[in-house]
């Protein structure tokens, strides 16, 4: 019930905004709105969610008292991960019709998307009061209650000075059995193992065949990558020689076979072919373990030529909702999931290329005057906060109009061309590169050419139909050059296959 838009009928509040009897013009408006709603519903089913939002908006303009339209538009916003807009629409649906159950469903979905499980539970409880016999609602309510109890139990057990998981792992307790038929690092149990280029390429081919590497090697990759990340600053300055090149990739989101395609198109990482992957390596796609181990392995082998920045999905809350935590536990164990959480907290937040191009995952800030030194000073080793510079650089998005607006996501801000220009001028920069948003062509140039979005997960979640892209720079001029590509075939494993049935049912493809 919670996953599809309302197809027929009208809510009790959908006659006219002031309750007057219908006239000829009102009847025409209702008829047009119903037609737009039906078209929007079909567009939603076809997974064209941005177009569905536009059509629902047109219908709302004709019949602003219709709770169904707001709830349906909220459902489309949830699929687009615009949780702030979804919360606003769901609240409007409830205001129009307090007994309309899907209004509470949609608001709960939006709160779950933001990791606010307790708020979602409140909405499920309110809906249950209105519809106590609805079986699907009772199931959702029970699942949400169990999740809140689990969170409370874990919080009660937490101690303020826990020993990091990385310090508790003993690699010598993980012998590589003779029966293991996957790639092996150079060395031995007695002498220790060493990561090599041959191992990484063999590991990638092993992953391509849907096999996992031995946990001994997987843990070593994460531990060595974590140690390197710990030594990195929050803002990394990258020097690109005049004759050298540099590639920036956006979100990959667990789409391992598309990552392989990037390397086929642009070459494997090397000293002559450096990369920056700009966050959101995991979640959504169900090959996130393969993606993150591959990137971390290259990071260990090429510490000065493979760079990784944190995205908003490199966080515990997002990983629990969108599948990565479940995937790690299914392919390895809970200890590794905790180790990844620690590693993500050490990821740098931004990179400055040749002092000219700033690359960060989300966007700019809720106030002017932020400097690169402010970014360098961020204490990043923590879960992302709900406000402040760290939150905003992970979550914010550009907007077409000048100034700032509340974020459609419910976190961060929307910032205009004037904000971008002032920030770049104040910091002596010429370009802002960010990711974080699906783009039809894989990239989009905005803000008079000063802000570029790059997104590297084509046909995102197997449903968006977008291309992927990466950006190639030459050190001599630092002008962006774009490569786009379609989605690559992958095994028949759906997005978010490892998310819980509760979360996956709401946010799955």
In a domain, 212, yes or no: yes
Overall average pLDDT of the 237-255 stretch: 98
Task: Tell me if 213 is assigned to some domain.
Answer: yes
Residue 131: pLDDT band (50, 70, 90) is confident
343 and 455 housed in the same domain: yes
- 179, part of any domain: no
CATH of the domain at 46: 1.25.40.10
251: nearest Cα among 493, 491, 492, 458 = 458
Whether the per-residue pLDDT at 13 is higher than 50: the answer is no
Is 223 within the bounds of a domain? Answer: yes
Asked if the structure places residue 167 within a domain, the reply is no
- What pLDDT sits at residue 156? 75
Give yes or no for a contact between 254 and 461, defined as CB atoms under 8 angstroms apart: no
| Of 381, 413, 383, 418, residue with least CA distance to 402 | 418
Regarding whether 338 and 202 lie in a shared domain, the answer is yes
Question: The domain containing residue 382 runs over which residues?
Answer: 186-507
Q: Do 148 and 202 lie in a common domain? A: no
- Asked whether residue 18 is assigned to any structural domain, the reply reads no
Whether 114 and 256 map to the same domain: the answer is no
Among residues 193, 194, 200, the alpha carbon closest in space to that of 175 is found at 193
Q: Does residue 404 fall inside a structural domain?
A: yes
For residues 206-216, give the mean pLDDT: 98
Burial (CB < 10 A; 0-12, 13-18, 19+), residue 152, is exposed
Catalytic residues: 313
- With 90 as the cut, is the pLDDT of residue 225 above it? yes
Of the three residues 117, 139, 157, the one that is the final residue of a domain is 157
75 shares its domain with 200: no
Q: Establish if 297 belongs to a structural domain.
A: yes
Residues 420 and 333 in one domain: yes
Over residues 324-347, mean pLDDT: 97
Instruction: Say whether pLDDT at 14 is over 50.
Output: no
Band of pLDDT at residue 154, cut at 50, 70 and 90? confident
* Segment 467-488, tens digit of pLDDT: 999 999 999 999 999 999 999 9
Residue 509 confidence (pLDDT) above 60: no
Same domain, yes or no, for 196 and 249?
yes
Q: DSSP 3-state assignment of 471?
A: strand
Residues 334, 395 within the same domain: yes
Q: How confident is the model over 367-418, as pLDDT tens digits?
A: 999 999 999 999 999 999 999 999 999 999 999 999 999 999 999 999 999 9
Q: What integer best gives the mean pLDDT of the chain?
A: 91
Tally the domains of the chain: 2
* Residues 496 and 377 placed together within one structural domain of the fold: yes
389 in the same domain as 293: yes
Burial of 146 (0-12, 13-18, 19+ CB in 10 A): exposed
Strand order in the sheet with 245-249: 306-308, 275-277, 245-249, 468-474, 481-485
Q: How far apart are CA 380 and CA 229, in angstroms?
A: 11
* 31-68 pLDDT, tens digit each: 888 999 999 999 999 888 999 999 999 999 999 999 99
For residues 104 and 198, state if they share a domain: no
468-474 and 235-238 beta bridge pairing: unpaired
pLDDT (tens digit, 9 = 90+) per residue, 381-390? Answer: 999 999 999 9
Q: Given pLDDT bands bounded at 50, 70 and 90, which one contains residue 440?
A: very high
Axis crossing angle, helix 83-96 with helix 101-113, rounded to the nearest 10:
160
263 and 366: one domain? yes
Whichever domain contains 451, its CATH number is 3.60.21.10
pLDDT of residue 105: 87
Residue 210 falls in which region: left (phi positive, over 0), alpha (psi -120 to 50) or beta:
left
């Amino acid at each position: 019930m919670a996953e599809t838009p309302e197809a027929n009928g009208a809510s009790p509040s959908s006659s006219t905004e002031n309750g007057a009897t219908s006239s000829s013009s009102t009847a025409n408006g209702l008829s047009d709105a119903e037609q737009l709603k039906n078209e929007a519903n079909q567009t939603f089913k076809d997974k064209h969610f941005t177009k569905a939002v536009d059509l629902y908006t047109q219908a709302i303009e004709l019949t602003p008292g219709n709770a169904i339209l707001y709830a349906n538009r909220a459902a489309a916003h949830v699929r687009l991960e615009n949780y702030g807009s979804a919360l606003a629409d769901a609240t409007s649906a409830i205001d129009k019709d307090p007994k309309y159950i899907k209004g509470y469903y949609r608001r709960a979905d939006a709160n779950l998307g933001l990791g606010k499980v307790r708020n979602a539970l409140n909405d499920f409880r309110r809906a249950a009061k209105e519809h106590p016999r609805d079986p699907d609602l009772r199931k959702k309510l029970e699942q949400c209650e169990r999740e809140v109890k689990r969170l409370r139990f874990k919080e009660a057990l937490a101690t303020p000075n826990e020993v990091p998981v990385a310090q508790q792992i003993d690699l010598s307790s993980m012998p590589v059995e003779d029966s293991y038929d996957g790639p092996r690092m150079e060395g031995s149990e007695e002498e220790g193992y060493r990561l090599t280029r041959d191992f990484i390429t063999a590991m990638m081919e092993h992953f391509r065949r849907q096999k996992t590497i031995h946990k001994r090697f997987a843990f070593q990759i994460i531990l060595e990558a974590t140690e390197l990340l710990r030594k990195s600053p929050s803002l990394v300055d990258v020097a690109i020689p005049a004759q050298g090149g540099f590639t920036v990739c956006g979100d990959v989101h667990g789409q391992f076979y598309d990552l392989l395609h990037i390397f086929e198109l642009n070459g494997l990482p090397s000293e002559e072919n450096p990369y920056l992957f700009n966050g959101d390596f995991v979640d959504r796609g169900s090959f996130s373990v393969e993606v993150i181990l591959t990137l971390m392995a290259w990071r260990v082998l090429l510490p000065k030529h493979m760079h990784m920045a944190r995205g908003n999905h490199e966080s515990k809350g997002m990983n629990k909702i969108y599948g990565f935590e479940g995937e790690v536990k299914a392919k390895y164990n809970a200890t590794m999931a905790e180790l990844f959480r620690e590693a993500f907290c050490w990821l740098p937040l931004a990179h400055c290329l040749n002092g000219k191009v700033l690359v960060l995952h989300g966007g700019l800030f809720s106030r002017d005057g932020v400097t690169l030194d402010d970014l360098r000073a961020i204490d990043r080793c923590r879960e992302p906060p709900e406000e402040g510079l760290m939150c905003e650089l992970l979550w914010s998005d550009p907007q077409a109009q000048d100034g700032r607006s509340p974020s459609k996501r419910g976190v961060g801000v929307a910032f205009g061309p004037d904000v971008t220009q002032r920030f770049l001028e104040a910091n002596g920069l010429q370009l802002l590169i960010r990711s974080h948003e699906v783009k039809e062509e894989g990239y989009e140039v905005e803000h008079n050419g000063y802000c570029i979005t790059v997104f590297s997960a084509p046909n995102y979640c197997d449903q968006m139909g977008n291309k992927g892209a990466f950006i190639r720079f030459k050190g001599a001029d630092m002008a962006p050059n774009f490569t786009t590509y379609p989605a690559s075939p992958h095994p028949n494993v759906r997005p978010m296959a490892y998310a819980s049935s509760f979360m996956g049912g709401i946010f799955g493809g």
